Amino acid sequence: MNINTIILSFLTATAAQTVKAQTFNEVSYSPKATTFSLVTSPEVKKVNVLISDADNNEAQLVKSMKRVGAGKWKLTVKNDLKGKYYLFGVYNNAQPDLTPGVFAKAVGVNGQRGAIIDLKDTDPEGWSEDKRPELRNPVDLVIYEMHHRDFSIDYSSGIKNKGKFLALTEPKAIDHLKRLGVNAIHILPSFDYASTDESQPDKPQYNWGYDPLNYNVPEGSYSTNAADPKARIKEFKQMVQALHKAGIRVILDVVYNHTFSIDGSNFQKTYPGYYFRHRPDGTYSDGSGCGNETASEKPLMREFMVESVKYWVNEYHIDGFRFDLMGLYDVDTMNELRAALDALPGGRSILMYGEPWQGGGSQLHRYEANKANLAMLSERIGIFCDNTRDVIKGGCFDAREPGYVEGRPGSFWDIGGAVAAWCLSDKLPAHSPSQIVSYVSAHDNFTLWDKLMLVRYARPEYTAADSAALAQNRLAAGIYLTCMGMPFLQAGEEFARTKKGQGNTYRSSPSLNRLDWKRAAQFHGLVDYYRGLLGLRAQFPRLSASDAASPAAIRFFSLEQPLVGWTLPAAPGDGAAWRALCVFYNPTEEEKRIRLPDGQWKLLSDGVSSALWKGPSRVCGGEVTLLPYSATIFGQV
């Protein structure tokens, strides 16, 4: 190990003792003065602020910042700097590292230079009256995950602002979400990320956005004018405002666990080495699989995360956060984030959930926010439940591995665990349904349709003869949408979205990732099936209960394998449409006869039509038939 590595490791290990955390507020504007503040390594001897008239100009004004503490710098310029651009020049070495800082709130094209704006100028009309849609409890949400370009870029979408934030202000987009029964959208990373050239908006380029650059500024390529620092902010707010008016909450996918690169990171330019974890030999730990991982346990990184989520809530009215690779964060940081959100007005209804895993070997030496440590996490921090996903449709990394709906032997045992949100199983230490996000497809890995087709036919293309795969799709939806916990679906799952059998399409062509809205007409029966199921779920609130007692009220039947059946009484006074639900899953290609519990039961869904509950009563008793590949649902009358 060379001497530079030893020094870096020492500084990183002792930084918490040499710099105390402070609130990040790097540029504070008023017409009379603008204040700049920055936290750097205590070793830095000089920091300048370089102010220019345009995004790509040389600095017209260079001001030295004043040291106000170990590693703390401040400068107030008593002029109206609105419309100017700035950079910090941090002298970590003989030549300064130029950066807009770690908490830039407005930037120019491609996020290389900070912009000085009055954030009030970015508020759309009526923004101060914007309200978060009411919610009884977080599990009442039905989450629809989307990528801005995927959702609207294809000509078949009929949306004018294709691939932009403003697409989600248009009636066609909002009407589809509302008719489907969605009340929350999860937008893939929408902060300023590094891999898309915002200066070439017409160039065919694509990325999911998991390559953070400026964490607290919206991405410019989703704006109608990336060259205007105010446009991306205002248009993001217009999107949130329109969705809120429609009763739809907005969840932001956040990626604090790594940066796009190390040398290009604003963290590195302000405080080299500090924000990242290191191996014993001084090299960078790579638990993200992206070349680095941030160190959530360090005071400045933890505070950065706390201040960042609070900023998105306060400035952009965000309703929840999905944490990428949440297993790279320590449990204490996640619980502190939850507490910080709870302290905000209405903050207890702000959602938090994430991926309870890592992308590789990590140097995190504390309890990590993963499935094994659920009991240590706040019960209002949820996880993507890959147990539910994989038991229903099969492993996500092997295209040909079957799950319950494809007839995997023995898998029926774990279906019961999924139904009760794993609160009755020893496979997960879940103590509340609010900790479980129930799903079968997300942006990564195979779409549900492709997985079903690849298992059954080793090909993703659909023909009219493939009705069995369509029935299996309905069965998969029928299972996870009747499970306790919070339901989550990938955009387009409701009309058999395909990516031609490809899994990891994070930088594939837009033509492969885009939603083909013609399939919504081709698979209109499947769309109606999802719509009916979501409507049915809303009629029986106990499926969305967040208390630990509700899973314990589920009673499973002893049935011929691999059938699964269960019943759940309504909770007293919850306004349920039926006294109890009775649900059966048949993953075989044959009809099956079963006996209903005593009493009178209305057929709500037969596995083909999920909207029978809306029509005249068909009351059943005694023996009934389960269709092949079906989720059959009854309500006690």
For 606, the 3-state DSSP assignment is: coil
In the annotation, is 355 catalytic?
yes
Instruction: Tell me the two tokens of residue 388.
Output: 């539910």
The length of the chain, given as a count of residues: 637
What distance lies between CA 361 and its chain's CA centroid? 23
Distance CA 429, CA 387 (A): 12
In the annotation, is 125 catalytic?
no
Q: Which of 26, 140, 211, 324 is catalytic?
A: 324
Q: Give me the long-range contacts of 201-210 (CB less than 8 A, separation at least 24).
A: 201/226, 204/509, 204/510, 206/149, 206/507, 206/508, 206/509, 206/510, 206/513, 207/506, 207/507, 208/147, 208/443, 208/506, 208/507, 209/147, 209/253, 209/255, 210/255, 210/290, 210/324, 210/506
Which residues of 18-103 form beta strands (DSSP E)? 27-29, 34-39, 47-52, 61-64, 66-69, 72-77, 85-90, 97-99
Distances from the Cα of 180 to the Cαs of 246, 513, 516, 532, in angstroms?
A: 13, 21, 17, 8
Distance CA 322, CA 353 (A): 5
Q: Which of 303, 355, 414, 450 is catalytic?
A: 355
Per residue in 12-43, is it b (16+ CB within 10 Å) or e — as a string? beebeeebebbebebbebeeeebebbbbbbbe
Active site residues: 324, 355
